[in-house]
Amino acid sequence: MTNQKNPKFFTKKVASLGDFLFKNLAAVMAASALALLLIIGYELASGSGSVIRTFGADFFVGTQWVPNEGREIYGALPYLLGTIASSGLALLFGVPLSIGIAVFLVEMSPRALRVPISYLVELLAAVPSVIYGLWGLFVFRFILVDYIEKPLNTYFGWIPIFGGPTPIGLDLFTASVVLAIMIIPTVASVTKEVVAAVPNSIREGAYSIGATKWEVIRHWVLSYGRSGIFGAVILGLGRAVGETMAVAMLIGNAQGAAAIPTSLFAPSQTMASLIANGFLEAAPGSLQISAYIGVGLILLIMSLSINLGARVMVTKVLKVKGGAVE
């Protein structure tokens, strides 16, 4: 080992300068990611200052949205509720499907199918949001209207969530179903990793006491992976909360109290779609701009905390091997 100690090599100025530059450059690049996040957070906070000063707590709990100069009122609550409703519904529709895909890929599909299907599922994530929006607007919406929305509205319209005037498909339901499709790649691929990380010895133990394949999956595989699957669901939620373009095209662009989700088949609005649909109409420096930025701030906080929580959970689970997962 001692023969490697070549003092000349270590004192070479070029080498140490290169090291110095590279090390610091890398550190600056790494820090810039954090700095960007902080700058965005700061800009949103300072930009929303005037609307929060003007309306105080009413900005967060108010339901009016009147951009007309002179009698402006901005309340973000309907869009917060719209975001919760649409992403909640997206999970409701998308998660069972995603778990089904993941379990099929790991536990059942023949090897030859596993890789191509995994790729196809992940490719769904590569479809641009606006394409989902276009497809939803011109194709899928009419299928939903004819086969689900109209029948439910006609026969079960007395139940509030199916009520309202004859649906045209630009509503909470269409947006949520398309969102569900958009979160499938995220939820399914993380769930697939989680299911694949369940040790084989657990499956063998379960088979050895006479469990059927279905019982092994239900009582052992999904139960062992439950916190990882929960993390996958939260990741999907993060995607659904922040998703903008497709939702903006499909949710019906309601404003103010009308955007509060009451019926599946009525137009609504999420925080993201509100900003996308209205931002261009606001004059620079106006209170209206500040209101949009304020909604953006709420959205960022919500989305960051969901993603952070999910990352923590997923990494924790994938690191634990063989031990108990509570």
Partner 1 sequence: MTETQQKPIQPDPQAKMQSINLDVWFGQKQVLKSINLSVKPNTVTAIIGPSGCGKSTFIRTLNRMHELVPNAKLNGQVLLDGEDIYAKNVDPVMIRRRVGMVFQKPNPFPTMSIYDNVAAGLKLTGAKKGEDLDDIVKKSLIQASLWEEVKDDLKKPGTSISGGQQQRLCIARAVALRPEVILMDEPCSALDPIATAKIEKLVIELKQNYTVIIVTHNMQQASRVSDFTAFMYLGDLVEYGRTKDIFESPKSKLTEQYITGEFS
Residues that bind partner 1 (CB under 8 A): 111, 199, 201-212, 215, 219-220, 223-224, 226, 322-325
Q: Given the complex with partner 1, which of 104 and 207 has the nearer CB atom?
A: 207
Minimum distance of partner 1 from residue 211's CB (angstroms):
6
Minimum distance of partner 1 from residue 196's CB (angstroms):
15
Q: How far is CA 275 from CA 77, 117, 220, in A?
A: 14, 36, 44
Q: Given the complex with partner 1, which of 161 and 202 has the nearer CB atom?
A: 202
Q: Given the complex with partner 1, which of 107 and 193 has the nearer CB atom?
A: 107
Minimum distance of partner 1 from residue 217's CB (angstroms):
13
Minimum distance of partner 1 from residue 221's CB (angstroms):
10
Task: Say if residues 232 and 314 touch (Cβ distance below 8 Å).
Answer: yes
Q: Given the complex with partner 1, which of 68 and 208 has the nearer CB atom?
A: 208
Q: Given the complex with partner 1, which of 281 and 326 has the nearer CB atom?
A: 326
Minimum distance of partner 1 from residue 115's CB (angstroms):
14
Tokens of 207: 């088979």
74: enclosing H helix or E strand: strand 73-74
For Cα atoms 236, 186, 29, give the angle at the middle one, nearest 5 degrees: 95
Across 213-243, b (16+ Cβ under 10 Å) vs e yields: eeebbeebbbebbebbbbbbbbbbbbbbbbb
Alpha carbon distance 234, 198 (integer Å): 20
Alpha carbon distance 132, 141 (integer Å): 11
